[in-house]
Amino acid sequence: MSNEKINIDVEYLTRVEGHGNIKVNASNGQIEKCEWQVIETPRYFESMVVDHSWKELHHITSRICGICSIGHTLASLKATEDAIGIEISDQDELLRKLVLHGENMQSHILHVGYLALPDLMGEGSVIPLASSHPEELKTVIKIHRLANELSDLVGGRTTHPQRLIPGGFSKIPTEKELTELRSKLKNSFNDLMAVADLCEEKADKLPDFSRETEFISLTTDEEYAFYDGQIRSTDTGISPVDDYLDVTNEYVVNQSTAKFARNNRGSYMVGALARLNNNYDQLSPMAKGVAERFNLKPINHNPFMNNIAQLVEVVHNVRDSIKIIDTLLENGLEPQDDYYEPEIEVQSGRGIGAVEVPRGILFHDYTYNEEGVCTAGNCVIPTNQNHANIQHDMEELAPSLIEKDKPEEEIELNLEMLVRAYDPCISCSTHHLDVEFVE
């Protein structure tokens, strides 16, 4: 066997959000160490929210993550509204669903186009693609920009949105703006298909690896769930959002610095693939058509297919955004004053908000006193829920590659691609981690 000694030591894995290491040691085909480590500085959000007003919490917790700041804002607002007893209008709910589509598109296309594709094209980053594949790259940028235009228009800013407030929106788009956005979304189909073609051409570079696991996401009878629903597991079925602690079960393990989560088995997966596995039938026909091109159907246990599930979701996001805009325009937009602020009577209580964000199911949980001041907070982040699944995948993928006598560089690349496929958001997940630096 040529692989007498394997020593993989990836410090600060690139092309992921946040700081993580991959360590694998093996000799004579036997794994001695195989770890996914997280080494991010803790940020203490659950403490930072304490003593702050219900009007400020979404502003603070949006800063957990720049990439999914809209999702954090919405989970935060839903928790606050649940605790204080605030209702929002149907129009506001539609606008929230719309802005969430914008973020999901933005994040997924950034991941698929800028972070994952370079691996499939044999490049170290997206930058060489500017000269080697200029047209393809421009197409990816166009979709990315469109997603940001959507978020900007509805949320008032793509990162750390401003218009989303407890009880609704401080400002809403005009019918004219929505009509213009609708036509841009409609005109993006060719671009979406061009990206799908490119991915299809390179899909054989995605490792063929499957490990049976549990998938958890939101679900609802009404639609492919992003904004609302109940918790659904491929193992244990449906449970209410209020029971999220019984599903997520965060725990500390000695071999890792990160908190892990488990429900029915050693680990579970959240994110685009989990949503697709749970709610496939509710995808728009066009999105299903893209899934079929990659033979992606439920239940798919190949974590690398999360990249493709993201692509499928982008198509769904565009289709459903058009549908939402149509409904808004058919109903006619209910106008509201500039600098709108709903009248709210504050009451004490605990509230939980769950939202599907690009990387999976997200929970915010706040308790307020009778003055509307937060006394306790908890946030369970998608990437935290995926850490254990990444670890378990690595423990199975690494030996299988060693057994096939693959060169060390190829094993390392495959392990890096595995972590990237989860599109981890490590700074999110360390709002809460136990950090110790591993020698």
Partner 1 sequence: MKPRVAFFDFAGCEGDQLQVANLEEKVIDLVEIVNLVNFREIMTEKSDDYDVAFIEGSIATDHDAERLREIRSNADIVVALGSCAAIGGINSIRNSQDPERVEDRVYGDDADKVEAWDKAKPADAIVDVDHYVYGCPIDKDEFIHVVESLVQGKKPNIPTYPVCVECKMNENVCVFARNGEEKRLPSTKREVQTPGPSAVDQGPFCLGPVTRAGCDSKCINEGTTCWGCRGLIDNPNQNAHKKVLDKYGLTVEEVINKFNLYFGWQQEERNNE
Determine, following the binding rule CB under 8 A, whether residue 187 of this chain makes contact with partner 1.
no
Among 23, 133, 145, 323, binds partner 1 (CB under 8 A): 145
Choose, by CB under 8 A, the member of 7, 28, 29, 56 that binds partner 1. Answer: 56
| Residue 379, H or E segment | strand 374-380
- Distance of closest approach, residue 323 Cβ to partner 1, in angstroms: 26
Looking only at residues 346 through 365 of this chain, which bind partner 1 when binding is defined by CB under 8 A? Answer: 346
Q: Does 262 bind partner 1 (CB under 8 A)?
A: no
| Beta carbons of 68 and 158 less than 8 angstroms apart | no
Q: Binding to partner 1 by residue 189, rule CB under 8 A?
A: no
From the list 65, 218, 272, 390, which residue makes contact with partner 1 (rule: CB under 8 A)? 65
Identified binder of partner 1 from the candidate list 159, 234, 306, 383, rule CB under 8 A: 159
253 binds partner 1 per the rule CB under 8 A:
no
Please identify, among the stretches 74-82, 123-131, 286-294, 311-319, the one whose residues bind partner 1 according to the rule CB under 8 A. Answer: 123-131
* Min CB(162)–partner 1 separation in Å: 4
d(CA 179, CA 194) in angstroms, rounded, equals 24
- Tell me which of 25, 35, 66, 350 binds partner 1, using CB under 8 A: 66
Tokens coding 54: 């219900």
> Between residue 362 and residue 401, which ones bind partner 1 under the rule CB under 8 A?
371-373, 376
Full strand arrangement of the beta sheet holding 20-27: 5-10, 20-27, 30-38
| Residue 162 in the binding site for partner 1 (CB under 8 A) | yes
Q: Between residues 16 and 283, which has the closer beta carbon with respect to partner 1?
A: 16
Q: Cα-flanking dihedrals φ and ψ of residue 70, to 5°?
A: -70, -45
Distance (Å, whole) CA 302 – CA 215: 12
Question: Minimum distance between the CB of residue 433 and partner 1, rounded to whole angstroms?
Answer: 9
DSSP label of 30:
E
Q: Are strands 268-269 and 214-219 parallel, antiparallel or unpaired?
A: parallel
What is the rounded CA–CA span in Å between residue 257 and residue 130? 38
Characterize 156-191 residue by residue with b for buried, 16 or more Cβ atoms within 10 angstroms of its Cβ, and e for exposed: bebbbbebbbbbbbbebbeeeebeebbeebeebeeb
Nearer CB in complex with partner 1: 329/435: 435
CA distance 180 to 189: 16
User: Tokens representing 227?
Assistant: 């904004």
What's the min distance (Å) between Cβ of 63 and partner 1? 4
| H-run or E-run covering 319 | helix 306-331
Chain positions 305 to 324 lying near partner 1, rule: CB under 8 A, are: none
Residue 122 vs 240, nearer CB to partner 1:
122
Nearest distance in Å: CB 9, partner 1: 15
Nearer to partner 1 (CB atom), residue 162 or residue 230: 162
8 A C-beta contact, residue 275 and residue 314: no
β-pairing, 349-357 vs 360-368, is antiparallel
- Residue closer to partner 1 by CB (options 55, 350) is 55
Single residue of 9, 12, 85, 177 touching partner 1 by CB under 8 A: 12
Write the burial class of residue 260 (CB in 10 Å: 0-12 exposed, 13-18 middle, 19+ buried). Answer: buried
Instruction: State which residue, 116 or 203, has the beta carbon closest to partner 1.
Output: 116
Q: Closest approach of Cβ 349 to partner 1, in Å?
A: 15
What is the size of the binding site for partner 1 (CB under 8 A)? 73
Q: What tokens does 416 get?
A: 């890096």
Q: How far apart are CA 141 and CA 173, in angstroms?
A: 24
Query: In this chain, which of 67, 74, 270, 398 binds partner 1, going by CB under 8 A?
Result: 67
Tokens 């690398």 correspond to 304
Of 46-54, 196-204, 222-230, 388-396, which part binds partner 1 (CB under 8 A)? 46-54
Binding residue for partner 1, selected from 32, 85, 122, 127, defined by CB under 8 A:
127
Candidates 96, 101, 108, 163; binder of partner 1 (CB under 8 A) is 163
Residue type, 428: C
Q: Nearer Cβ to partner 1, position 59 or 293? A: 59
Region of residue 80 (left: phi > 0; alpha: psi -120 to 50; beta: else) = alpha
Residue from 125, 179, 295, 331 touching partner 1 (CB under 8 A): that is 125
Cis amide leading into 64 (omega within 30): no
Rounded Cα gap, residues 431 and 143, in angstroms: 31
Pick between residue 118 and residue 360 the one whose CB is nearest to partner 1. Answer: 118
**Member of 277, 391, 427, 429 binding partner 1 (CB under 8 A):** 427
**Which 79-118 positions form the footprint of partner 1 (CB under 8 A)?**
110, 114-115, 118
Q: Which residue has the tokens 């700081």?
A: 19
